[in-house]
Structure 1
Amino acid sequence: MTYLYIKAFHIIFFTSWFAGLFYLPRIFVNLAMVKDDTTFQHLLLMAKKLYRFVTPFMFITAILGGWMLYLNPGLLKAGWMHAKLSLVAILIVYHIICGQYLKKFMLNQSTKGHVYYRWFNEFPVIILILVVILAVTKVF
C-alpha cells in the first residue's frame, strides 16, 4: 500500500514539475519579444517565481522515483526503465538550462529570439510523451 501512495505522489509532483516546464519557456518567448521595461520586469518576476516554485518539484519527483526503485529494485532490470531514467536525466538538464536562460534574462544578456524559445518550449512535451508511453507500455 505504501508503494501506491509513493507512486501517486510521484505522479502528482512530476505533473506539477512538467506544468512549470511547459509554462516557463512560454514566459521566455514573451520576454524575448517584449519592448517596454515595465512588462519585461513583470514577466521576469513571474519567471523567477515560477522557477523557484517548480524546482523543488523536480527534487521531490526524483526522490519519490528513487524510493519506488528502492522498494522494487527489479524495475532496474527492465530496458524501459533505463530509457525512462535517461529521459528524466535529460529533463533535469533541460530544467538547469531553463535556469541558465533565466539568469541571462535577469542580466539582460539573452541573445536568443522568441522563435528559438517557441521551439525550446516543445522539448518537454516530447519527453512527457515518451516517458508516459514507456511507463504505461513497459516496452523497450
Structure 2
Amino acid sequence: MAILWFKAFHIFFVIAWFAGIFYLPRLFVYHADATENSVKETFKIMQRRLWWFVLPFAVLTAITGIGMLHLYGSAWVAASGWLHAKLTLVVLIYIYYGYLFKVMKQFERDENQRSAKFYRFLNEAPVLVLLAIVILVIVKPF
C-alpha cells in the first residue's frame, strides 16, 4: 500500500515541477524580447519566484522516486532496463533545471546574449524528454 502513496505523490510532484519547467523558458522568451527596463525587471521577479516555487517539487520528486526504488528493491531495479533509460532521462531533466537557474541568473545580471528563438527551442525540448519518460514508464519497452 505504501508504494501506491509514493506513486501518487511522485506523479503529483512531477506534474507540479514540470509546470514550472515548461513555463520558465517561456518567460525567458518574453524577457529576451522585452525592451523596457520595467518589463525586464518584472520578468526577473517572475522568473526567480517561479524557479524557487517549483524547486521543492523537484526535491520531492527525487525523494518519492528514491523511496519507490527502495520499496521495489534492488533486484527489481537491476532487472528493469526501461528504468535505467528513464533514470538517465531524469538526470538530464535535473541538469536542464540547473541550466534554467544559470540562465535566470544571466537575465538577473542583464547578461543575456541569446535570442527569443533560442528560448523557444529550450522551452520545447523537455516536452520530448517527458514523452519518452512516460512511454518508458507505461510501455516498459525493454
Query: Which bin holds the TM-score, normalised by the shorter protein?
Result: over 0.9
1:121-132 pair list within 5 angstroms: 121-132=123-134
Deviation per CA, 1:56-97: give whole Å up to 9, x if none: 111110110000000002134211000000000000000000
Which residue of the partner structure matches residue 14 of structure 1? 14
1:86-101 pair list within 5 angstroms: 86-101=88-103
Counterpart of 1:12, as a letter, is: F
Q: Which of 75, 80, 94 matches 2:77? A: 75
Relative distance call for 1:64 and 1:76 in structure 2 (3 A) is farther
TM-score, normalised on structure 1? 0.98
* Contact in 2 for aligned 1:69/1:76 (Cα 8 Å): no
Counterpart of 2:8, as a letter, is: A
Which residue of the partner structure matches residue 27 of structure 1? 27
Counterpart of 1:117, as a letter, is: Y
Which residue of the partner structure matches residue 43 of structure 1? 43
Question: 2: distance between equivalents of 1:55 and 1:77?
Answer: 31
Q: Percent identity?
A: 40
The answer for unaligned runs of 5 or more in structure 2 is none
SS at match of 1:109: coil
Question: 2: distance between equivalents of 1:95 and 1:76?
Answer: 27
Between 1:36-45 and 1:91-100, the stretch displaced more is 36-45
Question: 2: distance between equivalents of 1:75 and 1:125?
Answer: 25
Counterpart of 2:30, as a letter, is: N
Counterpart of 2:130, as a letter, is: L
Counterpart of 1:75, as a letter, is: V
Which residue of the partner structure matches residue 141 of structure 2? 139
Task: Report the Cα offset of residue 55 of structure 1.
Answer: 1.1
Counterpart of 1:7, as a letter, is: K
Counterpart of 1:13, as a letter, is: F
Instruction: Give aligned pairs, total.
Output: 140
TM-score, normalised on structure 2? 0.96
SS at match of 1:122: helix
The answer for unaligned runs of 5 or more in structure 1 is none
1:101-116 pair list within 5 angstroms: 101-116=103-118
